[in-house]
Amino acid sequence: MKKVFLSAFTALLLFSCQNDQTTEASNPEASAIALRGCASQDVLTAQLKADPTLAIRMNQIEAFTTEQLLSGRVGKLVNGKVQIPVVVNVLYKTAAENISDAQIQSQIDVLNKDFNALNSDYNSVPALFAGVKANVGISFVLDKINRKSTTKTSWGTNDAMKKTAQGGLNPTTPTTKLNLWACKIGGGILGYAQFPGGSSATDGVVIDTKYFGLSGSGSAPYNLGRTGTHEVGHWMNLRHIWGDANCGSDLVSDTPTHNTANYGVPAYPHLSTCSGTPVEMTMNYMDYTDDAGMYMFSTGQKNRMAAIFVTGGPRAAFGI
């Protein structure tokens, strides 16, 4: 399952030039139900075009991450853990979009289960991947809920929901708190996140109201809170498992090379046609499968996430 790491610069070029929207026509196994759509890569591409210095910062983060992985220092945080305070910003036009406190808490609960290997389907990981399935060991606590009534029917992906001046809500203390925005995104997008290195003024994760948490307006097959898990993975510097390119690299050594995104709940084993024809890790949170089809992070992903929280990392302020 070992993958060749791209250089930070080459990886950044790859990420900025690829579009992560894959059509149903190129994925015959995809169901007629709307496909999972994550706009994180598209948003990153737009940010790189708007801010030439972002590429420099992200290259520095990749170099730092690689150094931490090679040194074996990742995971050795002060007190050995990270607890993330979460601020949830609810933007609503309709009563259904004004999701309840209980629905918000259910998303926090899902994050805590998925990032601590407490999800009920964790033991469904096939034997082939059992040796690399990981307890990430990062926890989340609800810090505050902000609510705002708006006239917008949808927000798109230009970060307007993160700006009070544009009718949204500015992030609260984004250097030490994870901000989530719950709103109607539109365009078939379930959510998107900002990778480490971006502006603190837009830092955080956006999740469409219909796919936030477990209850209320949750819409199957994306009603188990895994959109939040997937997007927070991006916020912690994880890439899509197929590397946003055919047989691309996600910069993680223990995830198999995927042809492209997977949808639905693929039958196991699902073979890649990439070099070595590996069995794809379709149950990984960073694929595009249904919520019921994703239930693991790998050890390599855990270490990559841990690297951003160590001293000198882009999210070191979150370490406790």
Does residue 141 belong to any structural domain of this protein? yes
The parent domain of residue 145 ranges over: 8-318
Q: Tell me if 197 sits within 8 A of 57, measured CB to CB.
A: yes
Q: What single-letter DSSP state applies at residue 292?
A: G
CA separation, residue 33 to residues 28, 221, 239, 260 (Å): 13, 8, 24, 19
What local confidence, expressed as pLDDT, does residue 218 receive? 63
pLDDT, averaged in runs of 10, over the chain (320 residues): 45 38 33 72 93 95 93 61 94 96 97 98 98 96 98 97 98 97 96 97 97 78 96 98 97 97 97 97 98 97 94 86
What local confidence, expressed as pLDDT, does residue 129 receive? 98
Q: What is the CA radius of gyration of the chain?
A: 18
Number of separate domains in the chain: 1
What local confidence, expressed as pLDDT, does residue 284 receive? 98
What local confidence, expressed as pLDDT, does residue 15 receive? 40
**What is the reported pTM?**
0.90
* Cα end-to-end span (Å), the chain: 33
Does residue 97 belong to any structural domain of this protein? yes
Does residue 3 belong to any structural domain of this protein? no
Question: What length does the chain have?
Answer: 320
| CATH number of domain containing 240 | 3.40.390.10
Does residue 200 belong to any structural domain of this protein? yes
Does residue 1 belong to any structural domain of this protein? no
Q: Tell me if 259 sits within 8 A of 8, measured CB to CB.
A: no
CA separation, residue 191 to residues 209, 211, 212, 218, 260 (Å): 9, 8, 9, 14, 19
Nearest to 198 by CA among 40, 85, 18: 40
Give the three-state DSSP class for 231. helix
Does residue 37 belong to any structural domain of this protein? yes
Measured between alpha carbons, how far is 277 from 36 in angstroms, rounded to an integer?
A: 25
Measured between alpha carbons, how far is 260 from 22 in angstroms, rounded to an integer?
A: 8
What local confidence, expressed as pLDDT, does residue 187 receive? 93
67 is catalytic: no
Question: Going by C-beta distance under 8 Å and a sequence separation of 6 or more, which residues neighbour residue 139?
Answer: 81, 82, 83, 84, 112, 115, 116
Does residue 16 belong to any structural domain of this protein? yes
What local confidence, expressed as pLDDT, does residue 62 receive? 96
Which one of the listed residues 24, 62, 67, 231 is annotated catalytic?
231
Q: Tell me if 54 sits within 8 A of 47, measured CB to CB.
A: yes
Does residue 2 belong to any structural domain of this protein? no
DSSP states of 82-133 as a string?
A: EEEEEEEEEEESSTTTS--HHHHHHHHHHHHHHTTT-STTGGGS-HHHHTTB
What local confidence, expressed as pLDDT, does residue 90 receive? 98
Our separate counts of H helices and E strands in the chain read 7, 5
What local confidence, expressed as pLDDT, does residue 2 receive? 46
Angle at which helices 40-50 and 8-17 cross, to 10°: 110
Cα angle for residues 140, 178, 313 (degrees, 5° grid): 95
